[in-house]
Structures are given as structure tokens and as C-alpha cells.
């Protein structure tokens, strides 16, 4: 073969190769495929990405992602990235209900870079918007089969000591939330709901401060009042045999105080410190003796009555009565109180100076049947002394206040050197029935020797003064003489 022939053959071969190469390059595309940690650079006649991956035997699993998508047309310079999906689990604690989900465990299969991606891809993604704790951390990388533990905090309000504390608690029960709120509990404090209540069932925890105190209360024991009959006293007479006295009981209570207010109390100790003493009153059962005989008329047989005045002397009424008695040349007997003689000694002196009798009516008008022997003595003897100093005479007669007397009083008065002086006509002028009524009552009961009870002491005795003026006129007209009581 000639050299020319060889050269021509070579040129023809080169031309053919060029034509074939041009044809090949014209119908293929240069692409890169990034998958499973490798980079595959190839020229391909694949029509789309799905065809390309099949020719390269890159198989896609569930959840794998291809960029660009498998329907993308293959062009020269195309770069395809295959991201493999992983399967990870999300496990929420027993407070999943706080997130509004029913299930607590989820499995996610997707292309996931971090645990945050796992959480967002799951139904528990709402945990990102609440107080929660995550294990592992959300920025941790994800491996296939990884598990993300989610712990949800419960928003709760703690009411204690007048304040409200709001917190998000991870504690499983109420007791733990109280600890997280840094509330110190005393032994008797009450927690509502109970400390063992699951926290997810609670919105508000109320703590009541409880104190157990002892309180002592003194209670007055009122004394009884007892009546006992005795024939040592006349009917209608009464005498205190035993002075009543209230007793004292000391009660100790256990008091439950809740938040400063008493809730309940229970008596735990009852101690009688002082026993009550019953008051015993003797009531007379003996029939009274007949009224004392009226004082005898004068020796000449004249009709005589005796005006007597109690409770004075009075600075106004007694002088007015003395003026009236002087007008009719009449005499009377004044039973004076020691306290009033001490106040108005000049009036007492005038009574005696003008020829009237003055008697003892005690110092301050007590019922002599109800006082002790010592008090009776002082009432009588102090009055004797003050009358002696004021009027220069010592009374020999005593009229007991209210007419109250008994055998004991009678005996003691006699021992003191006085005799009892009573009455038999009582118009009850002290009730102030009117001057006319006083006159009528006296005149209806008057008789020779009558002892008439009137009053010059006290308030409102103007009726007695007016009645005395009319009585003096009437009795004088009827022929009565008005004298002081004999022996007084």
C-alpha cells in the first residue's frame, strides 16, 4: 500500500471518529449526582432525573428527597442531590394533653438534620411554643432510630399568704410544684388539692396556713337562789341566811386558726377555780302578832293621835311641817336618817327645840333583816351619835326601814337600848297619790291612839305638807290632840 493510500485511510478514519464523537456529545449531557456520600460525574442520555438515578442504580427509599425533583429534565451541567430520610421517634410525657394531642409517642420518617426538625415534623411540634424540656437538645444531629424525649411543664397558680405565684412546673404532682414555688410548709398547713394529685389535673393550688393555739376563757358560774321557810320570821319577812356568790370556771380550748381566722375550737380542760355559793334566803312562816295596841290617850281621857314623819330631815319640807305644827300647837315625832341629820343638823336641832320628838331611822335606810349584825350596829349607833351631836338628845325609839324586822333584829335593837316604834295608819304618801287622797286615807283609818305614818324626807313631799295642813285642821276640829309618841 502506498503512502498516499495510508494517509487517506487515516484521514477517513479520523473524520469518521470525529463524526461519531460529535454525534455522541450532541446527544448526551454532563451531570453530577450527589448521593450516599459520593459524587458521580457522568454523561448521560437519560431524559429526566428519575431515569438518571435508575441508570446509576441509585434507589430511593420512603421519605428520601431529590433535588431537583425526579421529573426534572436532564440538561448539561445538572447537579442532582439525593438526601436520605431517617426515622426518629418523639416521646411526650403523660402531659401530652397540654399540647392538645391524644397520643404521647410518634414516629417520623423524613430528611432530618436536627432534633428540632424531628419535633417540628411531629404532631408534638406545639411543644416549641410552651415551657418544655428536651432530651437530647433540639440542636443535636439526628441518627436513624433516634428518640427525642419531651417533658411538658404545667402552668399553675399557687395561692398562699395572700399572694398568687404563677409558675410552669415540671413536677409530677402538686407537692413538687409547691417545692418549686419555694413555699415552706408547716406541719399543719393545708394544701388543696392534696399533694399527691397529678399536676396536669390542677390549675390552682391553695395553701392555707394552720395554727393550733390554746385559749383560756373564764366563765362566770352564776349562783343559785334558794328560799327556805322558817318560823323564826314572821310571814312576809325575809332574811338572807347565806350571801350568794358567783363562781368561776376556767376553760382551756384548743383553737384551730386558718389564715388568721378562727375555724373551730374544742374544750380540752375544764377547771372550776371557785365554786358558786347559793344564796339562801329565809322566808318567814310564823303568823304575825296582832297590831300593837295604840298608845294610851292622855290621863284626862282626851282623844289623841300621833303624826310621825320618816326619812328626814329635809331642808324644805321639814321646816314647812314645823311651821304648820306650830300654828296648831301640835307635836309630832320625826324618825330621822343619820345621813340627813349630818347634812342638815340645824333642822334636826329645831325639831327638838320646838318640842317634838326625834327617833332613829338608821343611817342609810337598809332593810335590817338583810344586813349583818355588824352593819346593823353601825347603822343604829352612828345615827344615835349624829343626832346627839346635832340636837343634844339621844333617841330612845327606832323605826325600822320598810318596817322590816324579825326576832333577831328586835333582840339586837333592844340590846342597843331602843324600842321598836311601828304604825297603824299608812296613807302611802310616798307614792304621791295627791294631797286629797292622803287626807282621805288618814281620816278613814284614824281612831284614838292612831299612829300615822308620813314622810318628810325624799323628793316630792309637797303633797305631804299640803295634806298635813288639812289633817291638822280636820283632826283638831274633830277634837283630836296631836302629840309626840310617848317614850320617844
**Which residues on neighbouring strands pair with residue 308, listed in sequence order?**
333, 453
3-class secondary structure, 394 = coil
User: Given the C-alpha cell 487517506, which residue does it identify?
Assistant: 8
- Are 169 and 199 in contact by the 8 Å Cβ rule? The answer is yes
Q: Which of 466, 470, 488, 457 is nearest to 328 (CA)?
A: 470
Helical packing angle, 317-327 and 462-477, nearest 10°: 10
Set 173, 356, 365, 455: catalytic member: 455
3-class secondary structure, 422 = coil
Cα distances (angstroms) measured from residue 401 to each of 94, 295, 367, 422, 486:
95, 21, 6, 10, 20
Residue 269's CB is within 10 A of a number of other CB atoms, namely 11
3-class secondary structure, 226 = strand
Q: Is 314 a known active-site residue?
A: no
Tell me which DSSP letter residue 296 carries. Answer: P
Residue 84 in grid coordinates: 436520605
- Are 276 and 452 in contact by the 8 Å Cβ rule? The answer is no
Distance separating alpha carbons of residues 451 and 293, to the nearest angstrom: 10
- Are 319 and 475 in contact by the 8 Å Cβ rule? The answer is no
Residue 404 in grid coordinates: 322590816
Q: Is 376 exposed, middle or buried (0-12, 13-18, 19+ CB in 10 A)?
A: buried
Distance separating alpha carbons of residues 234 and 410, to the nearest angstrom: 12
Distance separating alpha carbons of residues 156 and 347, to the nearest angstrom: 92
Strands, DSSP E only, in 140-208? 147-152, 154-160, 163-169, 190-192, 204-208
Set 117, 310, 429, 456: catalytic member: 310
Contacts of 50-58 with CB under 8 Å at 24 or more apart are 52/80, 53/80, 53/82, 58/33, 58/82
Distance separating alpha carbons of residues 129 and 454, to the nearest angstrom: 105
Q: Is 455 a known active-site residue?
A: yes
Distance separating alpha carbons of residues 404 and 349, to the nearest angstrom: 28
Q: Which residues are tagged catalytic?
A: 310, 455
Amino acid at each position: 500500500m502506498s503512502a498516499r493510500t495510508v494517509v487517506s485511510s487515516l484521514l477517513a478514519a479520523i473524520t469518521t471518529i470525529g463524526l461519531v464523537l460529535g454525534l455522541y456529545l450532541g446527544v448526551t449531557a454532563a451531570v453530577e449526582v450527589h448521593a450516599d456520600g459520593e459524587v458521580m460525574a457522568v454523561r448521560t442520555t437519560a431524559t429526566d432525573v428519575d431515569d438518571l438515578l435508575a441508570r446509576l442504580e441509585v434507589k430511593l427509599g420512603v421519605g428520601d428527597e431529590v433535588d431537583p425533583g425526579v421529573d426534572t429534565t436532564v440538561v448539561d451541567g445538572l447537579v442532582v442531590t439525593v438526601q436520605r430520610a431517617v426515622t426518629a421517634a418523639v416521646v411526650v410525657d403523660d402531659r401530652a394533653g397540654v399540647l392538645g394531642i391524644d397520643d404521647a409517642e410518634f414516629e417520623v420518617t423524613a430528611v432530618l438534620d436536627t432534633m428540632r426538625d424531628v419535633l417540628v415534623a411531629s404532631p408534638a411540634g406545639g411543644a416549641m411554643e410552651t415551657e418544655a424540656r428536651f432530651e437530647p437538645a433540639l440542636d443535636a444531629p439526628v441518627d436513624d432510630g433516634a428518640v427525642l424525649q419531651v417533658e411538658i411543664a404545667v402552668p399553675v397558680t399557687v395561692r398562699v399568704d395572700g399572694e398568687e405565684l404563677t409558675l410552669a412546673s415540671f413536677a409530677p404532682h402538686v407537692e413538687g410544684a409547691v417545692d418549686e414555688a419555694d413555699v415552706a410548709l408547716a406541719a399543719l398547713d393545708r394544701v388543696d388539692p392534696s399533694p399527691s394529685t397529678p399536676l396536669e389535673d390542677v390549675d390552682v393550688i391553695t395553701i392555707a396556713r394552720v395554727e393550733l393555739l390554746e385559749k383560756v376563757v373564764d366563765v362566770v358560774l352564776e349562783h343559785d337562789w334558794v328560799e327556805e321557810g322558817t318560823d323564826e320570821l314572821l310571814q312576809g319577812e325575809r332574811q338572807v341566811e347565806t350571801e350568794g356568790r358567783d363562781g368561776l370556771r376556767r376553760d382551756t380550748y384548743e383553737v384551730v386558726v386558718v389564715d388568721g381566722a378562727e375555724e373551730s375550737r374544742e374544750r380540752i380542760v375544764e377547771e372550776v377555780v371557785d365554786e358558786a355559793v347559793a344564796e339562801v334566803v329565809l322566808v318567814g312562816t310564823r303568823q304575825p302578832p296582832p297590831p300593837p295596841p295604840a298608845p294610851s290617850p292622855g290621863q284626862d281621857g282626851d282623844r289623841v293621835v300621833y303624826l310621825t314623819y320618816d326619812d328626814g330631815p329635809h331642808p324644805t319640807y321639814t321646816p314647812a311641817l314645823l311651821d304648820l305644827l306650830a300654828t296648831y300647837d301640835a307635836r309630832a315625832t320625826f324618825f330621822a336618817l343619820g345621813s340627813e341629820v349630818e347634812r342638815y343638823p340645824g333642822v334636826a336641832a329645831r325639831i327638838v327645840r320646838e318640842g317634838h320628838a326625834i327617833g332613829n331611822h338608821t343611817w342609810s335606810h337598809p332593810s335590817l333583816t338583810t344586813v349583818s349584825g355588824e352593819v346593823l350596829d353601825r347603822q343604829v349607833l352612828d345615827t344615835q351619835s349624829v343626832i346627839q351631836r346635832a340636837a343634844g338628845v339621844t333617841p330612845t325609839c327606832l323605826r325600822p326601814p320598810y318596817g322590816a324586822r324579825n326576832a333577831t333584829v328586835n333582840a339586837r335593837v333592844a340590846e342597843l337600848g331602843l324600842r321598836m316604834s311601828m304604825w297603824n295608819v299608812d296613807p302611802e304618801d310616798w307614792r304621791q297619790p295627791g294631797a286629797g287622797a292622803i287626807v282621805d286615807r288618814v281620816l278613814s283609818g284614824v281612831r284614838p291612839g292612831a299612829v300615822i305614818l308620813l314622810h318628810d324626807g325624799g323628793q316630792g313631799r309637797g303633797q305631804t305638807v299640803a295634806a298635813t295642813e288639812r289633817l291638822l285642821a280636820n283632826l283638831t276640829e274633830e277634837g283630836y290632840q296631836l302629840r309626840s309618841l310617848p317614850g320617844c
